[in-house]
Amino acid sequence: MPWRPYSVTIFDCDSTLSAVEGIDELATEPDHREAIAELTDSAMAGNVPLEDVYGERLSLLQPTQADVVSVRNRYKAGAVPDVKAVIAALTDAENETWIVSGGLAEPVLEFATWLGVDPDRVKAVEAHFDPFEGDWWEPADGHRKGKARYADYDKGHLTCSEGKADVIRANVTNKGRKLLVGDGASDLAAAEAVDLFVAYAGVVDRPAVTDAARVVITSASISPILALALGPQEVKDMIGGPHDDVARACWDAIDDGALRFNDEALGTRFDSSF
């Protein structure tokens, strides 16, 4: 049976399109980094809801508008190899490309625009800058003093443990087959909303995610997603054309063992499509 392509590819942003963990990048103090690492581990183990992780991180770091600009710049500097070329190839193949991320909306949107993703196909955590207070996350209950501004921010779907699946269902209305690429617990939880979840371990390998995913990309380059999204023959046909470099990068990575199939039947189908 030939490989069936996917008409929609949905990417997470942090540690997937960029080797950056968004707001976590602002943790400059060792004790801050340690506290955030512990929060992340707890969330991955299912012990702490994502909404609590967001609140505690913001309370700890208290980011300013300048800090958020810094995150935007770090996304670009940390873009994973071939990501811009991958998105261009997907777009030219008429694959509908989305970014659905738990990162901050402003820097994620600007990064997505730089990558060539339609802004209307970007969903991230909305944050509002309060020019009078000089801080982000004006709280839902109106408190304006101290860390409560951050700990009590208005929680949205993308900061909830299984909210990404709801966001995908509500926004990605294309009736075709959907593929999601990500690295975290919220991505794994959203697998039920798509036809295939692919774990990207090229930046960070989280066993709870990569062991449960049907397919894992282990290379630094994210280019193998082209063969999964479009089909092996479509990528072969790109060689010699405008997307020659990224098509060759895709095959080189696959030849080096960049794809790990936890689903044996799926792996057999992929191999038989060559």
Spatial neighbors of 256 by CB under 8 A, at least 6 apart, are 219
32-41, 141-150, 244-253: lowest mean pLDDT where? 141-150
- CA-CA distance, 184 to 16, in Å (whole number)? 9
121-149 pLDDT, tens digit each: 999 987 655 555 555 554 445 544 444 55
The superfamily (CATH) of domain 8-271 is HAD superfamily/HAD-like (3.40.50.1000)
Q: How far is CA 185 from CA 40, 64, 133, 142, 200, in A?
A: 10, 27, 33, 31, 12
- CA-CA distance, 71 to 104, in Å (whole number)? 9
Instruction: Locate 213 and state its tokens.
Output: 């995913």
pLDDT tier for residue 105 given thresholds of 50, 70 and 90: confident
Question: Residue written as tokens 């997470």?
Answer: 12
Q: How many CB atoms lie within 10 A of CB 88?
A: 17
Which sequence spans correspond to the domains of the chain? 8-271
- CA-CA distance, 13 to 246, in Å (whole number)? 20
38-97 pLDDT, tens digit each: 888 887 777 888 777 877 887 788 777 778 788 888 999 999 999 999 999 999 999 999
Torsion of CA 57, 52, 133, 34, to 10 degrees: -10
Residue 146: predicted pLDDT: 44
Q: Which residues, in sequence order, are bridge partners of residue 179?
A: 9, 196
Residue 145: predicted pLDDT: 45
Instruction: Locate 51 and state its tokens.
Output: 């909404």
Averaged confidence pLDDT in the chain: 87
Q: How many CB atoms lie within 10 A of CB 7?
A: 17
Residue from 137, 115, 139, 141 nearest 128 by CA: 137
Spatial neighbors of 199 by CB under 8 A, at least 6 apart, are 181, 182, 183, 187, 188, 206, 209, 210, 212, 213, 215, 216, 217
Q: Are strands 178-182 and 196-200 parallel, antiparallel or unpaired?
A: parallel
55-64, 110-119, 219-228: lowest mean pLDDT where? 55-64
Torsion of CA 45, 47, 51, 55, to 10 degrees: -100
Residue 27: predicted pLDDT: 84
Residue 12: predicted pLDDT: 97
Q: Calculate mean pLDDT across residues 19-38.
A: 86
Higher pLDDT, 119 or 71: 119
pLDDT at residue 231 greater than cutoff 80: yes
Residue from 243, 233, 226, 96 nearest 172 by CA: 96
Residue 103: predicted pLDDT: 86
pLDDT at residue 13 greater than cutoff 60: yes
Spatial neighbors of 156 by CB under 8 A, at least 6 apart, are 125, 126, 163
159-174 pLDDT, tens digit each: 787 889 999 999 999 9
